[in-house]
A = this chain, B = another copy of it.
Amino acid sequence: MDKVLKNINVDSFINEITPQLIQWRRSFHSYPEVGWTEYVTTYRIMRVLEKLNFTLHIGEDAYSSVDRIGVPDEAILCQAEQSALKAGVLEEWIEKMAGGHTGLVATWDSGKRGKHIALRFDIDALPIEESMDIEHFPWKNDFRSVNQGTMHACGHDGHIATGLGVAHFIAEHSDVLTGKYTLFFQPAEEGGRGAFAMSKRGWLDDVTEFLSGHIGINPLNIGTVAATTTKFLASTKIDITYKGRSAHAGIDPEKGRNALLACAAATMHLQGITRNSGGATRINIGKINAGSGRNIVADLGRLEVETRGETDVLNDYMFEEAKRIINASGKLYDVQVHMDVVGHATDITCDEEWIDYTKEVCKDSKTITNVLSESALGGSEDVTYLMKEVQKNGGKVTYFIFGTPLANGHHHPAFDFDEKVLPIAVELYARMIVSLNMGAK
């Protein structure tokens, strides 16, 4: 180990790349795109990676197209493609990604025996209008979202920057590294829509180690990381449409079948699903759009809903309750019910051996000063589908938490993290790669 490692000075690599990490992060932050519309984001990632020695698999090459979940309407995709064109994406690339085939997989094989390490970075943003509060860091520093109503409010901009940093680390050390590398730049993590399709493409068949992670989540200091993560909430994402009959609200309201009332009823009753003594559950009715005008009995209503549970069993409990309530709410108001499952995430248990391994790997780091055995996610992640696939094939998986103070919680319009977490995340992945694939351990 010693000899080889002399050739790899992680610290100096990190020092050098840090300004670039911050620049990437801000650039991606300023152009957020929601799931399956990450045309510009994917293009920019591709532009960086094509200069390195990776093989790139874009869109349909990267995953099973039919297994994508929750792909937006043609109209929304079309609009996003137009915007991407205006933003400078070359037409041939837009054609390649057409129909919401965003995201990519980057692979590199050293040709030498070693571990096959897979890493996953998610790249999508959220439908949130970013804060213009004077104290909001991206606003003060001129990299607030230029896309109205869309925001990187979950830190995926930081994840992309981390992924590009890791790619650079691999590229710069390609002469000394052994084994194989697969980097997933995954679209549509929000809503649990992208990972499943990526897990169905064979990328993971011989992966021996799978690493991923998230910045923030819990109130941890810079320099603290968690070696494993618990409490991945299994989740099901449901779109509901109620279809009734419109009528004049003054002249003959009794002739209507009110789809808006069905939406409100379903909302109230879903929110009231009884807690389960088996563990944590969640329900969120995130969106209602119902009715066409004030003086018309609403003939159409749409809901976006998600259930979660600490285990698949608990999420199933929530989903079964939800299904019954959704159907009965249609009956209450005599309207038709249409229900689509448009996303899901499963539960997962990280392999325990990562706890001691991570502590060992980081023990002489100057910046990673505290390695927790575990930290709780409390949210859902469809990376769990990739992780389950790896475990099925005998590989070992973990998911790190990278500590950083947060200006506001995830999904808040003024969400923000400390950019010092970026070099720390790259360092942890780099140390893992060195340790796993250079006989360091």
Q: Are B294 and A304 in contact (CB under 8 A)?
A: yes
Q: Which of A19-27, A135-143, A257-265 contacts B (4 or more CB under 8 A)?
A: A257-265
Give A236-269 interface residues, CB cut-off 8 Å to B.
237, 245-256, 258, 260-261, 263-265, 267-269
* Cβ contact within 8 Å between A246 and B411: yes
Q: When chains A and B are docked, how far (Å) is the Cα of A411 from the Cα of B244?
A: 13
Contacts of A409 in B (CB 8 A): 247-248, 251-252, 255
Q: Is A126 an interface residue (CB 8 A)?
A: yes
Q: How far is the CA of A324 from the CA of B331 in the complex (A)?
A: 7
Query: Chain A 283-311, CB within 8 Å of chain B: the 1/0 string?
Result: 11111111111111111010011101000
Tell me which residues from 26 to 41 in chain A have a Cβ below 8 Å from any Cβ of chain B: none
- The smallest beta-carbon distance between A310 and chain B, in angstroms, is 11
Binds B, one of A180-188, A270-278, A364-372: A270-278
A332: Cβ under 8 A from any B Cβ: yes
**Chain-B contact segment, one of A43-51, A162-170, A374-382, A388-396:** A374-382
Is the beta-carbon distance between B379 and A126 smaller than 8 angstroms? Answer: no
Cβ contacts under 8 Å, A296 to chain B = 126-128, 284, 286, 411
Enumerate chain B residues within 8 angstroms of A258, measured Cβ to Cβ: 274
Residues of chain B within 8 A (CB-CB) of A377 are: 251
Q: List residues of chain B with CB within 8 A of the CB of A380.
A: 250, 295
For the complex formed, measure the closest distance between the CB of A133 and the CB atoms of chain B, giving whole angstroms.
13
Q: Chain B: which residue is nearest A214 at the CB level?
A: B251
- Tell me if A384 counts as interface (CB < 8 A to partner B): no
Contact with B along A182-217 (1 / 0, CB 8 A): 000000001100000000000000000000000001
CB pair B269 A254 closer than 8 Å = no
Which residues of chain B are near A308, meaning CB under 8 Å? 249-250
Closest B residue to A258 by beta carbon equals B274
A149 an interface residue at 8 Å Cβ cutoff?
yes
Q: Are B293 and A128 in contact (CB under 8 A)?
A: yes
Query: Given the complex of chains A and B, what is the CA–CA distance between A217 and B278 in angstroms?
Result: 13
Question: Nearest-CB distance from A214 to chain B (Å)?
Answer: 10
The answer to the question of A101 belonging to the interface, with a C-beta cut-off of 8 Å to chain B, is: no
Inter-chain contact B288/A411, CB cutoff 8 Å: no
| Nearest 6 pairs of A and B residues by beta carbon | A250-B379, A249-B284, A271-B272, A328-B331, A287-B291, A286-B294
Taking Cβ atoms with an 8 Å cutoff, the residues of A that contact B are 126-129, 149, 154, 190-191, 217, 233, 235, 237, 245-256, 258, 260-261, 263-265, 267-269, 271-272, 274-278, 280-299, 301, 304-306, 308, 317, 324-325, 327-329, 331-332, 334, 343, 377-380, 409-413
